[in-house]
Structure 1
Amino acid sequence: MSFLGPSGRLLLAGALVGLGVALASWVDPFGVFEVAELKALDVQFAIRGGRDPVSPIVIVTIDEDSFDELNLAWPWPRELHAQLLDRLSAARPAAIGLDLVFAEPSSRGPADDEALAQAVARAGNVVLGAALTVVKEAGFVKEDLNPPIRPIRDGAAGFGFVNFEIDADAFVRRGALTRAFQDRPLEGFDLQLYRLAQKAGVASARLPRRTPVLINFSGGPRTFAAVPYHRVVSGELPPETFAGKIVLVGATSIILHDVFPTPFAPGGNMPGVEIHANMIETLLQGTPIRRALPGIASVLAVLAGALAVWAAGTLRPLQAGVLVGAVLAGYLAISQGAFVLGRYWSDVVPVPLALAFGYLGREARNFIREQREKRRLSRFFSPAVVREIVRSQDGDDALGSARRLVTVLFSDIRGFTAMSERMPPEEVVAFLREYLTVMTDAVFKYGGTVDKYIGDAIMALYNVPFEAPDHAAQAVRTALEFQRRLGPLAEAFTAKHGGSLRCGVGINTGEAVVGTLGSAQRLEYTAIGDTINLGARLEGVTKDFGVSIIISEATYREVQDLFELRDLGEVTVKGREVPVRIYTVLGEREG
């Protein structure tokens, strides 16, 4: 994949993330995506909000007030329903729908059924409800239709099933126009009323070609005009309340348990008769919710995953987060706009998931790599420099090989090798760990970089990986700090092991090749060149002159105004034919 380049590899990785999300949404073995999309649809309804119905629909509610006023136990006498139908029919409605199932003869006798049958026949435009149940179990499917009893249905304009389509989360969002029963199509209650209203001259759109229909809910309970059952029976209402309208009669009292959860009633308090009203409104207005092609969301998920991984792998975390968030917000806004303006319900979940998995997955990988890099770099650099390298977009460039001006510091404990041969190995290791920790803190304190440890020797670099104008002075301050910190360590060492500890430091300033150098198997951040070699030689010269710190003339020129220095003259060091002038540091000047 090297031919793709860094950006190409990021885009490919992200596309694979998006493809994985898309495939998971297609397979969806546990129905998680289906339920998530249904809930997303509910949110889109909630954002859109309710709206006033357009179709001439009025509901006669079998409610608590009617139970109180009529003072009758359920089921009510069918003769009472007959009185209701006569009242309604006198107002000349376009259609009447009884969202009630009269599948059994009345317990009050044949006369009760006959009264309702005659009222249904007199009205001539009544649609009755039927119960269609389908039981699916392993190996068989059982269908059962409970239509109105024949005396009542013979005079009706028709009857249809009142059952709703129940989604995976037990919500009602769809209504079927027809269902197959015993290999024949059976029309639904809502379709029968649509046909009857259309025949009566109610304005209507063409029927949807697909069933079940996604109901375009106008709102929650009590969105449609409604009047209590008892007020209709008593004749209180004027005829124009029902004239030319589609009248639905059904239960709204919670004691009759004909309520369901819907997008606008997630608590499960939407009466079935009001769901029928929403379904009929959807059919008459020709406004069913349209399912967008799921393949569109899959393609967008692939693109979203590619964008998220590319952003997280290329941009700073905040920039990537803002970009991914903006894309997510834009996608959701477009989806909502398509829902409100075009009634399109698109798969909302795959794109946000692809964005989230792509962005968070890549950021997690970045974090793990960053922590690993911090641990590696902390061997060389102070915590502040490590943070800067990791945070910097140019961090790799900062550690790349280049020729630059540096100050190098070498330190060594004089005579420690000989003393360590008389000490137990574990004590040698313990002392060196303590000593190197203390001295490394001093290097980091003054912005230095620990290049390497060689036994008890330390090599430190200054002015790398980032520029520091006072790098030479910081190296000298480190050397003075070494002497101060060595005191307590030397006292403890002498008390325990005898002998005395002294630290020699050599410092040089000049150009060197600095960067990550080494073999394919092992790389180290280091510096090479004559400047480095001279710094090492100067450390070895300290014992010849009986001083703790020696700096080169190049370093002297950088720090002569900041420190008290003494000229030690010229010295010829190994590897150089020309003598070099050296100085020792007495201390830092005050002020």
Structure 2
Amino acid sequence: MLGSWRPRTLVKYVPFRYLPGVAAAVAVVVLVALGLVEEREYWSLERFFEFRGARRPTAPIVIVVIDEPSFFELNKQWPFPRKWHGEVIRRIAADRPLAIGVDLLFPEPSSMGPDDDQALGAAVEAAGNVVLGSAPKIEYRPGIGVQWDQNIPVAPVRRGAIVAPVQMVQDDVDGHVRKAPLRLAVPDEAGKDQLRVVDAFDVQLYRLATRAGLRAAPLPRGDTVLVNFNGPPQTFPWVPYYKVMVREGQPEPEVERGFFTGKIVLIGPTSDVLHDVFPTAFARGSEQMPGVEIHANVLETYIRGNRVQEVPRWISTVLAAAGALVGAALVIRLHAARALASAALLWCVLTIFAYVGFLYFDTWMRGMAGTLGLLLGYGATVVENFVREQREKRRLSQFFSPEVLREVVRHRDDNSLGSTRRLVTVLFSDIRGFTTLSERLEPEQVAEMLREYLSEMTEIVFRHGGTVDKYIGDCVMALYNAPFEDPDHAVKAVRTGLEFQEKTLEVSRRWEEKLGVQIRNGVGINTGEAVVGTMGSRQRLEYTAIGDTINLGARLESITKEYGVSIIVSEYTHRMLKNEFMTRELGQVTVKGKSQPVKIFGVLPGSLRKHPRVALEAAAMLLLVGVGETCRATTRDISEGGMALGGVPETWAAGTEVEIRCEGGLLPKPLTAAGIIAWRRDGLAGVKFTGLDAETAPVVADYVATHAR
């Protein structure tokens, strides 16, 4: 079965839009498994320590430090005589401390002779509660093989003492000390090839102190613990080494009697010269923490029982994967900006929750993987959305204006393009005689003309808030009031049709000059309910409308030439025009499949209504532009925008360009004009002036003004 699996199989079980989130979840799990997030996790833990700040230690711990002032006051370079260490231990032991820990190594005999070692050993033995440090290590020596170096104190020094390893656990990630070992494997003194497990330095001190009466929490289980650091260096009390010694000229040490009573006393170097400093949560860079104070923090953690408890890593990993899915879901369900704000709020809540757990319950949950998951899920889905939006925009830009397209993309998730029944106005526009025209031209010329014509018409549709449903050859189908509500949809459709007529004349003039052909178009407009939305197969979807309303719109466009008008609207559209346009009733038409006829109206150019008309009876000669055919006619009325004539052949349909010369009647002089037949009714032809020469225009204006009074 596994051999037949394909990546597409995943799509069957995971919604496509969630795939970026799933991919982000898988990626973050892999990153966690490879340990690539671990350094950032520990970085976040250290930030928690910083936000919490330093706190006062509660365990009775004091550190005798071998610091720079001690070198200066004692006027001695390192190493100090071991008998000095013995004197310090005797002074401390005289106060009956709980335990004494010496964070110094004595693996070789003293360079000052055996008496030096004997003096230190005698003091250690007399105290009876001293833990000395060792540093066992493993080395590979050529020709010999693997060798263990015990690095334990020499025999004269360690008599009567507990010897325990003092190694720090430094992370491989960044070298910081965060954990302390409870026990370590060391070479057995009986045979260096054998190992034995012993308690670590701090555990031995803990045991001595509790046996001496210190009340403390039980030791934690396991091999290592996360240390709950109290603060930066010197958070625990420091006593300079020289103040514990009896110096020349001073009968007593500077430290008063009883100062060390009931305390755990650590002795160790803090001077940078001795290179026993390490980076920790509170000490990084140039200010690192002395190893002896790290031991103090470890002891405090054991005594208080407040080790930092890690939430199991698998839980953090699951939360990281969930974060990726949540980040993706937010983008899918919300707008990108709101999703980002929600993701930021969620991150803040989870971070506060994790910090509260750390602050009050000493619990650490790895949060950087979750943060990374949230960012990856959000980012991957935003990128996928952007790519998909651009793809959708390119596909939908042929149907919607840029303004509508922005709204469509913005509301893409609220089913704006889903199939719904709604009131729409549909417009059909077709080039008359296109088939005959195509036969006269080369295919390349037809394609170029169509591209120019359809581009001009599309711009007009978009300008009036319409949606281009489709192109059918030379036919344009446009919708209004879809996909978004527009109360003026019928008016805007008619305005589109009127502008179609004007723009078609411009295109026609260009093509007449280029190829000697003219084009005219007819427009049919209907208003009613239709099913609108994305339709088609899974391989190809289109935004379209279906229903009787659409069929009637197409029928009206097909009969414009028959009625001698350029634009026909149905009675349903006519009711919504609110006297916005000049119309005339043309009659009724029956649509195939319907028994009830529908009233239809012709829409006249708006310019015909702008000018008052006055009666005029004069002889006129009309020339059909581009054809050369002429006719005699009689004028009936005239305005500055056009005139009505009788006797014009019925074959001269609306949209025909003509040249007119008329004279006689009450005209003071002959008139010459260019125009277009705007309408035909009752044997009359209405001509809209498209050009009046310089002499004719004032004559027409004066005639109309005089006879309109």
Alignment TM-score, normalising by the size of structure 1 = 0.87
State whether structure 2 residue 555 is matched by structure 1 residue 537: yes
Q: How far, CA to CA, are the matches of 1:572 and 1:472 in structure 2?
A: 20
Task: Map 1:242-391 to 2 at 5 A.
Answer: 242-267=260-285, 269-298=288-317, 300-301=319-320, 304=323, 307-318=326-337, 320-391=339-410
Establish whether residue 185 from structure 1 lines up as the match of residue 170 from structure 2: no
1:326, 1:174 → 2: CA distance? Answer: 32
Query: What pairs with 1:501-520 in structure 2 (closer than 5 Å)?
Result: 501-519=519-537
More deviation, 497-506/298-307:
298-307
Q: Is 2:207 the partner of 1:195?
A: yes
Residue of structure 2 equivalent to 1:227: 239
- 2-structure distance, mates of 1:10, 1:413: 43
| One of 140, 147, 151 as aligned partner of 1:146 | 151
Distance in 2 (alpha carbons) for counterparts of 1:487 and 1:266: 81
Aligned partners of 2:456 and 2:152: how far apart in 1? 93
Change (3 A) 1:227 1:580: same
Deviation for aligned residue 1:448? 0.5
Instruction: Supply the distance in 1 between the matched residues of 2:540 and 2:449 (Cα, whole angstroms).
Output: 28
Q: Say if 1:53 and 1:224, in contact at 8 Å, map to a contact too.
A: yes
- Distance across 1 between alignment mates of 2:289 and 2:75: 24
Write the distance in 2 (CA, Å) between the matches of 1:263 and 1:50. 11
- Go from structure 1 to structure 2 and tell me whether the alpha carbon gap of 1:550 and 1:9 turns closer, same or farther (over 3 Å shift): closer
Q: Give the superposition deviation at 1:431.
A: 3.6
**Candidates 59, 64, 72, aligned match of 1:60:** 64
Structure-2 residue corresponding to 1:450: 468
Counterpart-to-counterpart distance in 2, 1:141 and 1:573: 105
Q: Residue by residue, what CA displacement relative to the aligned partner does 1:320-375 show, whole Å, maximum 9, x if unpaired? A: 44554444433333332222222223343454444444444444444443333333
| Distance in 2 separating the partners of 1:135 and 1:562 | 99
Greater shift after overlay, 518-527 or 246-255? 518-527
From 145, 157, 171, give the equivalent of 1:167.
171
Matched AA of 2:62:
V
CA contact (8 A) 2:427 2:479 kept: yes
CA contact (8 A) 1:60 1:227 kept: yes
2:105 to 95, 101, 108: 101
Letter in 2 for 1:45: F
Measured against aligned partners, the alpha-carbon deviations of 1:236-289 in whole angstroms (never above 9, x if no partner) come to 222343232222121212222111111222326111111011011112222222
Distance 1:171 1:264, change over 3 A: same
For 1:88 and 1:484, how far apart are their aligned partners in 2? 109
Could you list the per-position Cα deviations for residues 526-565 of structure 1 after superposition, in whole angstroms to 9, with x for gaps in the alignment?
A: 22333323322333344445543333333222214222x1
Q: Aligned-pair distance for 1:406?
A: 1.8
Q: Within 1, Cα distance between the matches of 2:242 and 2:502?
A: 100
Q: Which runs of 5+ in 1 are unaligned?
A: none
Indicate conservation of the 8 Å contact 1:389/1:395, yes or no: no
Residues of 1 paired with 2:484 and 2:49: CA distance?
A: 56
Q: Which moved more, 1:54-63 or 1:368-377?
A: 368-377
CA distance in 2, matches of 1:151, 1:215: 34
AA paired with 2:112? R
Aligned partners of 2:197 and 2:272: how far apart in 1? 32
Displacement of 1:107 in angstroms is: 2.4
Identity %: 48
Tell me: CA distance 1:298–1:15, structure 2 relative to 1, closer, same or farther (3 Å). farther
Judged with a 3 Å threshold, the aligned counterparts in structure 2 of structure 1 residues 341 and 18 are, in CA distance, closer, same or farther, namely: farther
Native 8 Å contact 2:525 2:556 kept in 1: yes
Three-state SS of the structure 2 residue aligned to 1:241 is coil
CA distance 1:504–1:343, shift in 2 (3 Å): same
- 1:426 offset after TM fit, Å? 3.7
In the alignment, is the contact (CA less than 8 A) between 1:381 and 1:449 conserved in 2?
Answer: yes
For residues 554 and 21 of structure 2, the distance between their equivalents in structure 1, rounded to whole angstroms, comes to: 53
Cα distance between partner residues in 1 of 2:316 and 2:44: 14
- The equivalent of 1:569 in structure 2 is 586
Q: 1:22 to 1:443 in 2, by over 3 A?
A: closer
| Counterpart mapping for 1:434-513 below 5 A | 434-513=452-531
- Residue 617 of structure 2 is matched in structure 1 by none
Match of residue 84 from structure 1: 88
Distance 1:430 1:63, change over 3 A: farther
C-alpha separation in 1, matches of 2:476 and 2:331: 39
Residues in 2 aligned to 1:136 and 1:278: alpha-carbon distance in whole angstroms: 33
> Distance in 1 between the 2:571 and 2:366 partners?
73
Contact 2:29 2:321 in 1 (8 A): no
Deviates more, 1:503-512 or 1:455-464: 503-512
Q: 1:407 to 1:136 in 2, by over 3 A?
A: farther
CA separation in 2, counterparts of 1:11 and 1:548? 48
- Helix, strand or coil for the counterpart of 1:116? helix
* Comparing 86-95 and 42-51, the one that deviates more: 86-95
Contact 1:21–1:301 (Cα < 8 Å) also in 2: no
CA, structure 1 residues 10+522, in 2 after alignment: closer, same or farther (shift >3 Å)? closer
The whole-number CA distance in structure 1 between the counterparts of 2:279 and 2:563 is: 93
Secondary structure of the corresponding residue to residue 526 of structure 1: strand
Q: Which range moves more in the overlay, 273-282 or 100-109? A: 100-109
Return the alpha-carbon distance in structure 2 between the equivalents of residues 535 and 158 of structure 1.
Answer: 103
State the distance in 2 between where 1:102 and 1:336 align.
Answer: 43
Q: CA deviation at 1:300?
A: 4.3
Q: Which runs of 5+ in 2 are unaligned?
A: 1-10, 187-193, 248-252, 611-709
Contact 2:152 2:163 in 1 (8 A): yes
Match of 1:38 in 2: 42
CA RMSD of superposed structures (Å): 3.4
| Structure possessing the higher relative contact order (Cα contacts under 8 Å, 6 or more residues apart) | 1
Match of 1:113 in 2: 117
| CA pair 393-540 structure 1, distance change in 2 beyond 3 A | closer
Residues 356-410 of structure 1: per-residue CA shift (max 9 Å, x gap): 44444444444443333333322222222223233326642x3333443221112
Partner of 2:625: none
Q: Distance in 2 between matches of 1:191 and 1:395?
A: 64
Q: Distance in 2 between matches of 1:193 and 1:520?
A: 75
Aligned to 2:284, the other structure's residue is in SS state strand
Contact 1:312–1:362 at 8 Å: present in 2 too? yes
Q: Is the 8 A contact 2:20 2:380 kept in 1?
A: no
- 1:561 partner SS: coil
**Based on CA coordinates, which of the two structures has the bigger radius of gyration?**
2
The residue correspondences of 1:418-433 to structure 2 (distance < 5 A) are: 418-433=436-451
1:147 aligned partner, one-letter code: I
SS at match of 1:60: strand
Deviations 1:141-177 (A, max 9, x none): 653210111111114x322111111222211111112
Once the two structures are TM-superposed, the CA of residue 479 in structure 1 deviates from its matched residue by: 2.0
> In 2, distance between residues paired with 1:419 and 1:101?
106
Inter-CA distance 142–479: structure 2 relative to 1 (3 Å threshold)? farther
Change (3 A) 1:142 1:355: farther
Which whole-Å CA distance do the structure 1 matches of 2:275 and 2:422 have between them? Answer: 84
Count of aligned positions: 579
**In the alignment, is residue 401 of structure 1 matched against residue 413 of structure 2?**
no
Deviations 1:102-133 (A, max 9, x none): 11122233333333333333433332211122
Normalising by structure 2, what TM-score?
0.73
2:222 match: 210
